Amino acid sequence: MTRYLASRMSAVHPSPTIELALKLQHMKAEGHDIISLGQGELDFATPDHIAEAGIAAIRNGQTKYTASSGTPELKAAIALKFERENGLRFNPSQIIAGNGAKQLVFNALFATLDAGDEVIIPAPYWVSYPDMVSLAGGTPVIAPTTLAEGWKLTPEVLSAALSAKTKWVILNSPNNPTGALYSENDIAALCEVLSSHDTLIMADDIYELIVHEGTFATPAKVAPALAHRILTVNGVSKGYAMTGWRLGYAAGPEWLVRAMDILQSQSTSNASAISQAATVAALNEAPDFLPERNARLKARRDIVISAIADMPGLTAPTPPAGFYVFVDCSGLFGARTPDGHVLKTDMDVADFLLVQGQIGVVPGSAFGMPGHLRLAYALDDARLKEAMNRASDALSRLEMPVPA
């Protein structure tokens, strides 16, 4: 009964992407052949040497509790990764591992936000940011981005959003859901604005390894003068295809990492010891498997972009990174379905594609950008092409509105 629930629960909603995944699982169980373009998960297997390290950990008895923030071996591997790939140096006391990057984002916000504190979140945003901020007692401040600016936060918009109440600014590059990639110059311009404001900066770099055009950059490297208030969050779920292993990590100021560790010690405690051992194997070696995988992802991206170009009412830019295409579906508003329903919102379009095309996509409203759809193209080539064919067939059955 709702009267037993804490009032804070009124500020948070179920994750739309997880809700979609559960809905699709239910439909599949009923016998529907659904192709999901909804969840942010690669179809690739975890690389063999990483999986074998996890198996070896089980066989060698590495199945006990560890320190809440991670084993010394894992922290050393994380430090090695940061130095090798990002030119950043962290001490073990500045590093924490958790049950996915998602937990570490939550821990950082929960450990720092008080009522009235504001968190600037560029939109489109990952679906969980605003709810995490609200649950932690803070106030999300949505800073809009535009396609004309490459879906990237500009210094002018950032400056206008900042206030004396700003506690955090969240920067996510490569971005979910748009695939936008902030260049070193982009980040430098934002950090120049932030240099005169006493706010924390969260760099969510979880898609770092999936870049097709351009070069990845991270704030702590671009603006070392601000490193004392930058938390860099990353993990192995995306680039290493290890979503189910639930292992994320973060590095930043010691006082913040310590607070996150205390919070974690009283909630979930350590991440799986087995996953930690597997991640040591992942991070101790350069990810040489990535070029081949990224080439396959880029080819899949191009399949989707080419197909969308031929579909009525849909437009999409070519994303330089990640494995999502962010589609403008507003051109379908006013179209009439075969059963007489008029499409008015991105949620209507997503429902139409699910019912008529047997395709699962996430409405842009979930990311703070109505009128769009997020399509994840990280699935088998044949199924991806089939999904595009289904979408095209479904859209061909619409009665399109007459232009004014």
Span 202-213, average pLDDT? 98
Span 13-37, average pLDDT? 78
Residue 171 falls inside a structural domain: yes
- Pair 224, 104 in one domain: yes
pLDDT at residue 328, rounded to an integer: 98
- Pair 98, 27 in one domain: no
Q: Which of 255, 283, 311 is the last residue of a domain?
A: 283
The answer to whether residue 10 scores a pLDDT higher than 70 is: yes
CATH code assigned at 96? 3.40.640.10
Span 177-187, average pLDDT? 98
Span 8-30, average pLDDT? 76
The answer to whether residue 27 scores a pLDDT higher than 80 is: no
pLDDT at residue 109, rounded to an integer: 98
pLDDT classification of 404: cutoffs 50, 70, 90: low
12-21, 304-313, 393-402, range with the lowest pLDDT: 12-21
- Pair 246, 321 in one domain: no
Write out the H or E segment, with its range, that includes residue 382.
Answer: helix 381-396
The answer to whether residue 21 scores a pLDDT higher than 80 is: no
The span from the CA of 26 to the CA of 38, in Å, is 15
pLDDT classification of 87: cutoffs 50, 70, 90: very high
Which domain range does residue 231 map to?
64-283
Query: Cα torsion at 310, 312, 318, 319 (round to 10°)?
Result: -130
- Pair 298, 326 in one domain: yes
- Pair 175, 233 in one domain: yes
Q: Which of 231, 257, 283 is the last residue of a domain?
A: 283
Query: Cα torsion at 272, 380, 85, 155 (round to 10°)?
Result: -100
| Number of domains making up the chain | 2
pTM across the whole model: 0.95
Span 25-37, average pLDDT? 83
CATH code assigned at 40? 3.90.1150.10
- Pair 115, 251 in one domain: yes
The span from the CA of 351 to the CA of 140, in Å, is 28
Query: Cα torsion at 378, 327, 170, 80 (round to 10°)?
Result: 20
**CB under 8 Å to 53, separation ≥6 — which residues?**
277, 278, 280, 281, 282
Residue 52 falls inside a structural domain: no
Q: pLDDT by residue (tens digit) across 227-249?
A: 999 999 999 999 999 999 999 99
212 or 40, higher pLDDT? 212
- Pair 129, 222 in one domain: yes
Residue 59 falls inside a structural domain: no
Residue 50 falls inside a structural domain: no
Residue 54 falls inside a structural domain: no
Residue 12 falls inside a structural domain: yes
- Pair 253, 365 in one domain: no
Q: Where are the alpha helices (DSSP H) in 91-183?
A: 101-112, 128-135, 155-161
Residue 377 falls inside a structural domain: yes
- Pair 104, 188 in one domain: yes
- Pair 345, 384 in one domain: yes
Residue 182 falls inside a structural domain: yes
pLDDT at residue 11, rounded to an integer: 78
Rounded to the nearest 5°, which phi and psi values hold at 137? 95, 0
Q: pLDDT by residue (tens digit) across 128-139?
A: 999 999 999 999
- Pair 297, 321 in one domain: yes
- By CB neighbour count within 10 A (0-12 exposed, 13-18 middle, 19+ buried), where does 317 fall? middle
pLDDT at residue 26, rounded to an integer: 78
- Pair 251, 332 in one domain: no
Q: Which of 283, 317, 352 is the last residue of a domain?
A: 283
The answer to whether residue 1 scores a pLDDT higher than 70 is: no
